[in-house]
Amino acid sequence: MNFKISKSVFYNALQIAARAISSYSPLPAFSGIKIEAKADSLILIGSDSDISIRTVILSSEENSLIIKEMGSIVIESRYIMEIIRKFDAETLEFEVLENSSAKISDDVSEFKINGMRASEYPNIDFAKPATLIDFKSELLKTTIMQTIFATSKSENRPALTGVNFCCNGNELICTATDSYRLARKKVQLADSYHFNITIPSRNLSEVVKTLDLEEDIVFAVSDKKAQFIIGNTIIQSRLIDGSFPETNRLIPQSFSYELEINYSDIIGAIDRASLIKNEGISVIKLSLDEQECILSTRALEVGSSKETLKDAKFSGEHLDISFNGQYVFEALRALNKGKIRFSFCGEMKPFIIQSVEEKDILQLVLPLRTYA
């Protein structure tokens, strides 16, 4: 194998493929990037079996890619990326030598690096699933960012470590929960589809990093895998086995109390109150009535804070309710703007946080037992 290529184009493609590589790869070959030269393109593949990324560089004057000899090799990702980054030249030459080693050079520098035979790299099926959905990149990124933070960090319940994508008709519902909070986003689709899959949160994070907001993407789904096709790059994810819990029953349908407040006011108040932590957790209390709304927190070893929420409008009888400040802060950050509505059923019942203007995103948080 022998080719010439733009250093920046090659390095950017290596970075994309390397996002799928884990330091705890199940196979030695998965610590490397598979580089394959075809007649008119260069293909780079990275994987850890959980997520696989395939990106293609086409032969063109813009990419300065000239394929002199076809072939393939696998090279340790951390070594090749560091080597390519160190070159000063704009164009590099890459040549595979005997004994599965490679020579990378420009006009003045030359590196030789050991690799592995491409035959040692597991065969990854990047065949496109039958169900294809066109997505605006910005909408997909927003959907992921508004839900992914609520996934569980614990592996005790694997289904909760991912975001559930469920579609029965023209409405796609994306849901994440760690059993203490829940985030749900609804997206209206142009056509009708039927699927129910859960994608690991780590894999969705890599999708967000790769998205080009100026380029539409294709979301491809089967009962075995999900693909995000972004230009010449495919991000392929395994699905989490097992059923995602039925969450609709957790969402209250009627409320006895409501609080409306500007986004900037409430997120700022919670951010300030969160400085007071007890064993790493900020327990924040809302004392609400129609005359005054007070946000406070207290930790015996640290101190306390108290703030009156100006311009807040509350309807209902007096209510005291406490919650994890981080959970509500992250829920608010997902909503991001405008007027926010808190809807309560009681001091120890789950409450809803929504934007007054946007009804397609819902956040649910379980309260904590109120301190005296």
Rounded Cα–Cα distance for residues 335 and 324 (Å): 17
- pLDDT score recorded for residue 337: 83
Residue 371 pLDDT more than 80?
no
Residue 358 pLDDT more than 60?
yes
Residue 350 pLDDT more than 60?
yes
**Interval 105-154: pLDDT, tens:** 998 999 999 999 999 999 999 999 999 999 999 999 999 999 999 999 98
Residue 2 pLDDT more than 90?
yes
Rounded Cα–Cα distance for residues 22 and 250 (Å): 35
Instruction: Please give, one letter per residue, the 3-state secondary structure of the chain.
Output: CEEEEEHHHHHHHHHHHHCCCCCCCCCHHHHEEEEEECCCEEEEEEECCCEEEEEEEECCCCCCCEEEECEEEEEEHHHHHHHHHHCCCCEEEEEECHHHEEEEECCCCEEEEECECHHHCCCCCCCCCCEEEEECHHHHHHHHHCCHHHCCCCCCCHHHHEEEEEEEEEEEEEEEECCCEEEEEEEEEEEEEEEEEEEEHHHHHHHHHHCCCCCCEEEEECCCEEEEEECCEEEEEECCCCCCCCCHHHCCCCCCEEEEEEHHHHHHHHHHHCCCCECCECEEEEEECCCCEEEEEEECCCEEEEEECCCCEEECCCEEEEEEHHHHHHHHHHHCCCEEEEEECCCCCCEEEEECCCCCEEEEECCECCCC
- pLDDT score recorded for residue 214: 78
Residue 225 pLDDT more than 90?
yes
Mean pLDDT of 82-109: 94
Residue 372 pLDDT more than 60?
no
Q: Kindly report whether the global pTM for this prediction surpasses the value 0.75.
A: yes
User: pLDDT confidence of 24, banded at 50, 70, 90?
Assistant: confident
Domains of the chain: 2-120 (3.10.150.10), 132-248 (3.10.150.10), 252-365 (3.70.10.10)
Most confident residue range from 96-100, 213-217, 287-291: 287-291
Choice among 19-28, 48-57, 169-178, 240-249 with the minimum mean pLDDT: 19-28
Higher pLDDT, residue 343 or 250: 343
- pLDDT score recorded for residue 370: 59
